Structure formats: C-alpha cells, structure tokens
Structure 1
Amino acid sequence: MDSAHVGDIVGALGSIGLHDTLEGRSRWQRFRMLLAVIGPGLIVMVGDNDAGGVATYAQAGQNYGMALVWTLVLLIPVLYVNQEMVVRLGAVAGVGHARLIFDRFGKFWGAFSVGDLFIVNALTIVTEFIGVSMALNYFGLPKAISVPLAAVLLFAMVAGGSFRRWERFLFGLIALNIVMFPLAFLAHPQIGQIGHGFLPSFPGGLNSTLLLLIVSIVGTTVAPWQLFFQQSNIVDKRITPRWIRYERIDLWVGIVVVMMGAVAIMAAATFGLAGTDAVGNFTDAGAVAQALHDHMGTTVGALFALLLLDASLIGANAVGLATTYALGDTLGKRHSLHWKVSEAPIFYIGYAALLALAAAVSFSPDHVLGLLTQGVQALAGVLLPSATVFLVLLCNDKAVLGPWVNTVKQNIMAGIIVWSLVLLSLALTAAVFFPGLSTATIEIGFGAGALVGVLGGAGMLIAWQRGRRRNAERTAKELGNLDPDQVEELDSTPLTRAERKAIMEADRDTWRTPALDTLERPQFSTARTVGMFALRGYLVLAVILVGVKIFQSIG
C-alpha cells in the first residue's frame, strides 16, 4: 500500500480524522462529514459526460430526437451496481483495481485487463483534446493554441502535490455544468416529446447503425475507466469501510448529475435543430455548436461549446488519472495526488506523457479523428462485459472483501448486466455480418439470448446451493461430525432487522483486507477458464467488427 493512502480524509469540502466515527455526532456534524467524503463518485460520473459523451448524446438527439432517452434509464442500475462494487473494493482493500486483478488473477489476466484500459483510455483522451479544439475553435481560438494550452492546464491541475487542491479545481469545473439548464431551456423543449422518449423504441428499426449508437451510449455512460478511477480515487482520498454509506450517497449524486446532463444535451440537439437540414446529419460536436448558433442564436451555441469544453477538461483529467493510477498499481510505484512531482516521478511523468501523446494524435487528419471519435465509445461498450466479469469475481472473493462480499441479489443483478451487455454486442456483431437482418429477427435473437441467460443463471444458482451444502458438510465435520442440516439451520437462523444490522456494522466498519501477498490466490476451474477465454476471444472479434462498421459509416 502506498503510504500516502493512509491518514485523514482531506477533501474539497472538509476533513475527517483517521480515527473519527459517527458515534455521538449531531445531524449537522454528520452532514459536514458527508460533504468531506463527497468527491470520487461525483467526479467519476460527471467525467463520464466527457467530449465523447457530449458528442454521442448530441448525435442521438440530432439523428433520432428524444427516442433513445429510455436507454439512459436502463443504464442507471448498471451505473450504480458497477460503481458500488468498486466503492467497496477500494474502501476495504485499500488498493487500486489493477493491483487487485494482478494479485488475485495473475499477470496473464492482469495484462489483458490493464492492456485494454491503456489502449482505450489513450484513445479517449485524444477525443477529449478534439473536444477542446472544437469548443475553443467556436470562440475563435485555433487548435495550435488550444490543445497545447489544455495539456499544460491539465498537468498543472494534478502536479501541485495536494489532493484537496486538485479536488477543489475539479469541483469548480463541475459547477460549470450548470449551463446545461439554460442550454436545454433556450432550445424550447417539448415536455411531451421528452416523456415519450422514456418508452423503448427503435426509430428506423434495429439496424447496425442504430445498434452502434446504442452501444456507444452504453460505452460513454458506463465505461471501463470508471471502475479503475473511482476505486483508486477512493483509496487516494483515504476513504475506509466506515464511510462506504456516505460514498454511496456521493455516487447517487453523481448519477443524478450525469443523467440530467445527458438528457439536456439530447434535448438541446433535438429541439434546437428541429426543422433544419442538420436533422439526421450528425458530423461532430463542433458542428452541433455551430448549427445551434445559426438556428438558435449566439447564446445557445456558446453554451453548448462551453459545456463541451468543460466536459472535455473533466474527462481528460479523470481518464488520465485512471490510467496513471493503474500504471502505478502495475509497476508498484507511488501513485497518489498527495505526493509532489519529485516524490512520485513515475506517476506524474506517465500522466504528462499520456497527455503529450494524446495531444499530438489530436492533430491527425480530420477523417482519422472522425474514426476515433465514433469508435472509442463503442469500443468501451464492447469491452465493458470483460471488465465487469473481473469486477464481479473480485467482489465474490471472501479473502479480499470478507463481510463485504456480494450478496446473492447483487450477483444476480451483476449477472443480468454482464449478459445484457454481451447480447447487445452480439446483436451489433450480427448486424454488421448480416446487414439485411430484420428488426424482428434481431428481437427474436434477444429473446433467445434472454432465455439462455435465465437457464444459465438457474444452473449457476443450483451450483451455488450445492457449494453451500458442501461447505456446511465440511464445517459439520470440523465441529465433530454434526448434522450438516443443523449447520445450515444455524447459518439461516432468523434475526431481526436491527440485530442483523448491528452485527454487520460492528464487523464491517473495521474489517480491512489482509496484506495481499499473504493471501492464497484463487484457482480458476476448468469451466471458468474456458468461459473467460471464450469471452475474451469473442470480444476481440467484436472490437474488429466495430472498427469495420465505423469505417463503413465514415466511408
């Protein structure tokens, strides 16, 4: 564990002592403690509405109106379930996501997971610089000035050796998101049309173009980098199990903000461009800002450009830190915003190099940048199932999480999420291979996939019950050949809600993961190994096909 990760919580809005508790605190004192904890969940969610997010939501609004708002509603539980799991991992284990994957699954699977992250994150930061250049170009600042200026600013944000200063700077940028309200209002939204968008529909039919956009919405709303960033940022902020309930509130605050922002961007593009030739002809976020300027006036165009700039800076900072946090985990080097540049050179040099590389690539020809902008979000959506599988495995590792491991309900929800994401990418793959597939055929495929998922889930539940029985038999033997039924009955002895809560809190609030190098590494069964390789192989194929579809779209 990095020594900087132990100590008082020092946040943008307050501090909490290392040994402080909630016991005997007034409501006002508890509220101030909540304010001190707030940060990682809010930042990771707002960072999710980055340049790619703004472009994707604007594309949905410009090309399909408010018809895809329902996808955002379905993603709310995905956001919470995935990010809540890394909240527990970070607070309990006290190490980053990459470190846990390497230590618990070995270098082979760790290289797969972190390799995906580094590639997609580097490309994502390129799109953030594209967003910066488009936004500032609207205000007349050329790319040759805006991109280097943004790179210097982004490095200065993190290089001060103060976690509190960095978080306050991010909170200042987040506060600028308030422009989404006048932006949406000035576009004259129609409440009825927005409400209708919450009903699932597939405008124009379920073709590969629409599926690619839906996968992109998934990828920009629930991205793999978020898992790595939030877990490491929780560790860096020194949040421990005692404050997990407050961090969950922080996460919900962020989810509310990100959803409002996504709907506002869709609404601005839908209603601001209604009745113009731009409808159905999305090119990029910069063109949306200019079209809003031409159709709705200078104020609306400027607000959209300002929101794009703000989103790009927050996104680049968060994605860059997710990458260098993971780099520090992988190399075993210091990786904390509490350290100065001279104290953690690898951490800051890696961050600077990533910014420099992404900034340089952002000067590529326009057709290359168009390929990157459209492709990165879809790639993130396709790779998300793999990241979620590792996340679920870690959250079922009792050696790591102890009393904080997933419940059966949490595993069922996580399983539904993973399988739904796999089905979505399978549908995209099928639509690319067979462009003539009808909507009805794809819907039948979804139905068949759902049935397979239910049967597979039932099989896993039966296997879990059998495993529980074997554990009861082993425990009974260790206790002197007791009846296994008695052990199971003891395990399931009913407690009142208050009794259960008191027992769990007493154990949970102080439980931390033992030193990882003292834990025995879990062994993959043959079935699990085959399943992981099959998932990995399919995802490689899906990534290739996403690239093919994007090339076709641009061509």
Structure 2
Amino acid sequence: MTENKTVPGAEGAGPGSAASRTAVLDDLHVGDIRGAMGTIRQEDTGPRRTLRRRLTTLLAIVGPGLIVMVGDNDAGAFGTYTEAGQNYGTTLLWTLLMLVPVIFVNQEMVLRLGAVTGVGHARLILERFGKFWGAFSVIDLFVLNALTIVTEFVGVSLACSYLGLPKIPTVIVAAVLVVAAVSTGSFRRFERLSLVLVGFSLVIIPIVLMVHPPVGQIAHDFVVPAIPGGSGQLSDVMLLIIAIVGTTVAPWQLFFQQSYVIDKRITPRFIRYGRADLIIGIVIVVAGAAAMMIFCAGTFAGRPEFGNYTDAAGTAAGLGQYVSHTAGVLFAIGLLDASILGAAAVGLSTSYALSDVLSINHSLHRPVTKAKGFYVCYAGLMAVAAVLVLTPGVPLGALTSGVQTLAGVLLPSASVFLLLLCNDKAVLGPWVNGRGVNVFTGIVVWVLVLLSVILTASVLFPDIGSGVILAILGGGGGLGALLGVYLLLASRRARMKALVGKAAEVRAGDTHDEESAGSAPEADRDTWRMPPLSELARPVLSTQHKLGLMVLRGYLLVAFALVVVKIVQISIGS
C-alpha cells in the first residue's frame, strides 16, 4: 500500500507543528475552496466577524451536507416513504423526527473526519484496523451501492413511464448524462449541477398543499410514536421501519461525505460552516420525506389502494387520478430528479471508496485521462445498473424495497467503525468525540442491532407475533442498559489509569505526543491535521473489542443473507 504524498504548504504547517506534515492525499486536495456559490482563498484564514462575511463563507462551503442528505431522498426513499403513507397513513411520521439527531451525529462525525484527516473513510478503516476489516467494509458497501444504483434507474424508468417517455432510450440517456456530469474534470461544475438537482427536489412539496391534509393529525403523529396495524401486520411494519432507517441513514453517506469534504478542500477552520450546511440538508430531506408520507396518506385514505402499495408509478397514477394531473407530473419529475442525483452520489461514494483502498488517483478536480480507474469504476456501475433495469424478468420491485432494508441491517457495523475512528486521538487529535456523542452513538448502534434482530426473526418465523417482538425489544433494551453501565465503568477506570500514567510521565519530564494532540488548546484546533498514516501507530484493540467486532460481523452476514431470502420470497410471491 503506497503512502499518501506529503503536501507542501499545508494549512498550519510550520517547524515542529503537528500539521507540518499531513496525510492529505495530494496537491489537488489542498488549495482554494471553489464551491458552487463562492470561493475561499487558501490564505483567507481571518475571523468572520460580520454577518456578510459569515454568509459568503457559508455559501462557499454549502454542498457536502446538502448533497449527501438530499441525495439520500432517492428512488428507494420515494418507494419507502410513499409505501408508509399509502399503507399506514401518517402514523410513522414520528420515525423521521426521531432520526434527525441520528442523522446529524453520524454525518457530523464524518465531516470532522474528512476535514481533519484529509483521508477517505475506506482508507482510514483499512489503515487503522487492517486489510480484513477494510476489505469487509468496502465489499459491504460495493454490494449495497451496486444494488442501490439499480433502484435509481428503476426510479428513472417509472418516472419516464408516467411522463410518457420511452423506457429504453430514456434510461440510456439518463445513464450517459449521470456519467457525463461527473466526468467534466471540474469539481465546481459538478457541484453546481448537483445543487440544481437539489433545487428541483422541492417540486414535491406543493403536492401537500393540493391534498389539504389534516394538520392536527400530522402534528400528533410527528411527536407520538405508534405502531399501526394488528399483530398480524407487525412483521411488515417492523420491516418498513427498518427500511425507513436504512433509507434515511444509509452507509454510503458516510463514505461519500468524507471524501467529498476532502475533495472540496474543507479544513478544520470551516467545520462549523460544514455543520450549518448539514443542518440545511437535514431540514430539506425530512421535509421531503414527510411530504411524501402526508400526501400519500391524504390521497389514498378511504380508497381501494389504501394498504395496497405497488410502486412509485402507482403513487403517481393515484395522485393524477385523485388529486390532479399536475400533482402526478410533479411527483414524477421529483422522482426522476431524485433518481439522477441519487445515482450520481451513490456511484461517487463507491468510486471514492474503491480508489481509496486501491490507492488509485481520484478527484473530481481531475479529468478522465488522469484518473481513469476512478471514472471507469463509476461509469461501469452506471452501465451495469442500466442494463439490469432494461433486462426483462429482473424483480425490480422487490429489489427496490429490499435494498433499503439491507442498508438498515448493515448500518450498525458502519456506525461502529465510525465511532472507533472518532475516538482515535492519533486520527482526530483535539477533534475526538466527547462523552455525550459516544453515549448517544452507542445507544443508536444498539437500537439498530435490535431492529436487525427483529428483521432476522421475521424472516425465520414469518408468523412472529407482537409478544415476541416486544420481548426482543424489552430484553435487548435491558441487556443494552447493563452493557452500557459496564462500558461506562470500564471507561472511567481506563481514564483514571491514563491520568495516573500521565501524571507519572509529567513528573518524569516525559509526555506522549498522541496525548498532547488530544488535549491541544482550543486555538490550535483550526489548524490541527492528522499526520501521515505511516507515522501513526496501529491502534491496539482489546480482546472485548475484537470479540465484539467478530460477533457483529458474523451476525450481519447472517442477517444480510436472510434479507436476500426475504427479497427472493417476495419476488416469487409476486
């Protein structure tokens, strides 16, 4: 594995400073931030004291958080949210509100990793945890992303069918346009095109006004959790909730945003603006998801189609029949827009990750001739997905719903590695997680594992009752609480031991560089960058950590296989 090049003149460089040599990939990843809506010069490191300066800085930074969030409201999300609204009304709106802090915490950690390290997510996992875990994570990502891109072209096909466009030429043209948009060799040009697509994603919002939904009921369902249906439907509802989690907080987002932040040349100095960018994206994605649930609930309530979801094309047809032709057209345009943006973002996530682990040149600043492997991987994914969509007999409907469930199943392992990296002082120095973030993320991971257990049980035992599901949640919650207490006590003991050791080192006149990096003064945070990976000692995982990772991966393999079985069963049944 070749080491990343040292970047002359990296921000914060100076004799003896921690950032005098960094792990930033190469000179294309250092320099002016040339965003879609503004530029920040590399030497512009002064404070932003006026409102105008802050706004112009935010406009230049906006992009990574906005694109990754809106890109996640893709074709699969359209299918998942409209299914929730058509089959269960607005009773699952609460899942969106509960996922907001999960989305923010996960993606904020990725933002910090990208800005501070200058190294992609896949490469960090590979270098810090070894080839086995690095390869495993990338294989998970590649399989899931490849299937996800297929669902994006399913979305293109369904949207164009409703709009009266021929399927084969439209899918081919869409694939060519998605590849062309990424392959211009200009980062700014790609970001501008992406933000145009982000703007078009808002076309579905007016449909809510056309439906005239009950505002009081919507407000209630946002804040009061409820599981719709009887015990016979509980398995299907839990499967759908896991799909909502998987489509709202997907593993590809982690890999995409970290690499995109690096490609945009965002440094620790601008992390606070990156957080604002992320918040804007979260507001838009939750508004879009809620809109789909709401207008589907309002459109199909009391009609034969309620509780009998088919696909996004059926949703468009229902809107056209029961609301207005304009509503159906707006929905189809939104679906087409979401599918194209989703395909571009998910494809880039895959190409970034594979290029990371294979040490291939990769950057949207590079033309095709100087990053052939990166662009070939991207174009290959689009071509394969388009061919599958155009091939008769492929169970596209089952695949679309199953992919979101797979994302929910695989998310715990992605979150575990994210948590470990964000507690690695050699990697993040003064930017490591605080205790509150660690506790919250640990709870999230455990909840995701419990949802995966329920999913696995529903596959093994299709007639599983509500009592068993509640027992899994109750027992798992109790076990999680005991595990949390144990980990907190173990963490406290480790901190006390570390403090005693550090005090001894201070008395002896010796301090450890890694600990010094982790306790750097606030003034140094804006310029602290991770040193070259070759200079970092490999983290030593405890036996408990190793055992936990092995158990988690083994379980996820089983859950992954069982979800595939579920998809096959649905395909055969339909």
**TM-score, L = length of structure 1:** 0.94
1:366 Cα deviation (Å)? 5.1
Q: Contact 2:74 / 2:152 at 8 angstroms: preserved in 1?
A: yes
Map 1:276-425 onto structure 2 (within 5 A): 276-365=303-392, 368-425=395-452
- In structure 1, how many angstroms separate the alpha carbons of the residues matched to 2:97 and 2:167? 36
Q: CA deviation at 1:433?
A: 2.3
Alpha-carbon shift at residue 503 of structure 1 (Å): 7.5
Contact 2:202 2:288 in 1 (8 A): no
User: Hey, what's the Cα distance between the residues in 2 that align with 1:191 and 1:25?
Assistant: 41
Q: Compute the displacement of 1:367 (Å).
A: 5.4
**Aligned ranges 1:97-176 → 2 under 5 Å:** 97-176=121-200
1:19 to partner: Cα distance: 2.2
The one-letter amino acid of 2:154's match is: I
State the distance in 1 between where 2:548 and 2:243 align.
25
Residue in 1 that maps onto 2:557: 540
> 2:48 and 2:383 mapped to 1: Cα distance?
50
Q: Residue 567 of structure 2 aligns with which residue? A: 550
Q: Which moved more, 1:101-110 or 1:434-443?
A: 434-443
CA drift of 1:99 comes to 0.9
Residue in structure 1 matched with residue 209 of structure 2 by the alignment: 185
Note if contact 1:22-1:30 (Cα within 8 Å) is conserved in structure 2.
no
The equivalent position to 2:453 in structure 1, one of 414, 426, 438, is 426
**For 1:18-62, what per-residue CA distance to the aligned partner results, in whole angstroms no more than 9, with x for missing partners?**
121242642201210111001000000000100000110000000
1: CA distance, partners of 2:558 / 2:268: 40
What is the match of residue 470 of structure 2?
Answer: 443
Residue 512 (str. 1) matches residue 562 (str. 2) = no
CA deviation vs aligned residue, 1:227-273 (integer Å, no higher than 9, x gap): 00000000000000000000000000000000000011111211122
Q: Is the 8 A contact 2:399 2:567 kept in 1?
A: no
CA distance in 1, matches of 2:528, 2:189: 30
Of the three residues 200, 204, 213, the one matched with 2:225 is 200
Deviation at 1:481, TM superposition (A): 6.8
Pairing partner for 2:52 from 6, 10, 28 = 28
1:96 lines up with 2:110 in the alignment: no
Distance in 2 between residues matched to 1:421 and 1:395, nearest whole Å: 19
Check if 1:256 corresponds to 2:287. Answer: no
- 1:528 pairs with 545, 550, 559, which one? 545
Moved over 4 A (4+): none
Relative to 1, partners in 2 of residues 1:147 and 1:38: Cα closer, same or farther, differing over 3 Å? same
The farther-off stretch of 521-530 and 51-60 is 521-530
- Aligned counterpart in structure 2 of residue 225 of structure 1, from 252, 266, 269: 252
Residue 46 in structure 1 maps to residue 75 in structure 2: no
Cα distance in 2 for partners of 1:548, 1:345 equals: 37
The CA deviation at 1:549 is 2.6
Matched-pair identity in %:
56
Q: CA separation in 2, counterparts of 1:72 and 1:124?
A: 21
Quick check: 1:37 aligned with 2:54? Answer: no
Q: Which segment drifts farther, 249-258 or 332-341?
A: 332-341
From 223, 238, 241, the counterpart of 1:211: 238
* Structure 1 unaligned spans of 5+: 492-501
How far the C-alpha of 1:289 sits from its partner, in A, is 0.7
Query: 1:181 & 1:288 partners in 2: Cα distance?
Result: 15
Q: Secondary structure at the match of 2:291?
A: helix
Q: Which moved more, 1:363-372 or 1:385-394?
A: 363-372
Are 2:430 and 2:520, in contact at CA under 8 Å, matched by a contact in 1? Answer: no
Distance (Å, rounded) in 1 between the aligned partners of 2:562 and 2:392: 23
Aligned counterpart, 2:104: 80
Please tell me the residue identity of whatever aligns with 2:193.
F
The one-letter code matched in structure 1 to 2:217 is Q
**Does the Cα contact within 8 Å between 1:2 and 1:335 map onto a contact in 2?**
no
3-state SS of 2:368 partner: coil
Aligned residues: 538
Structure 1 residues 511 and 205: CA distance shift in structure 2, 3 A: farther
1:553 Cα deviation from its structure 2 partner: 3.4
CA distances 1:42-91 after superposition (whole Å, capped 9, x unpaired):
00000010000011000000000001001111111110010000000000
Instruction: Measure the CA separation in 1 of the matches of 2:220 and 2:166.
Output: 41
Query: 2:82 matched to 1:65?
Result: no
- CA separation in 1, counterparts of 2:501 and 2:522? 28
How far apart, CA to CA, are the structure 2 residues paired with 1:149 and 1:2?
A: 34
- Structure 1 residues 504, 307: closer, same or farther in 2, change over 3 A? farther
Do the aligned partners of 2:429 and 2:520 also contact (CA within 8 Å) in 1?
Answer: no
Work out which of the residue numbers 450, 456, 470 in structure 1 matches 2:497.
Answer: 470
Paired with 2:427 and 2:174, the residues of 1 have a C-alpha distance of 40
Contact kept? 1:293, 1:301, Cα under 8 Å: yes
Change (3 A) 1:309 1:451: same
Question: Which 10-residue stretch deviates more, 17-26 or 356-365?
Answer: 17-26
Whole-angstrom distance in 2 between the partners of 1:222 and 1:385: 11
The alpha carbon displacement at 1:468 in A equals 1.1
Question: Contact 1:187–1:300 at 8 Å: present in 2 too?
Answer: no
Structure-1 separation of matches of 2:256 and 2:61: 16
1:201-241 per-position Cα deviation (integer Å, ceiling 9, x unaligned): 11114622111111100000000000000000000000000
8 Å contact from structure 1 (residues 51, 308) kept in 2: yes
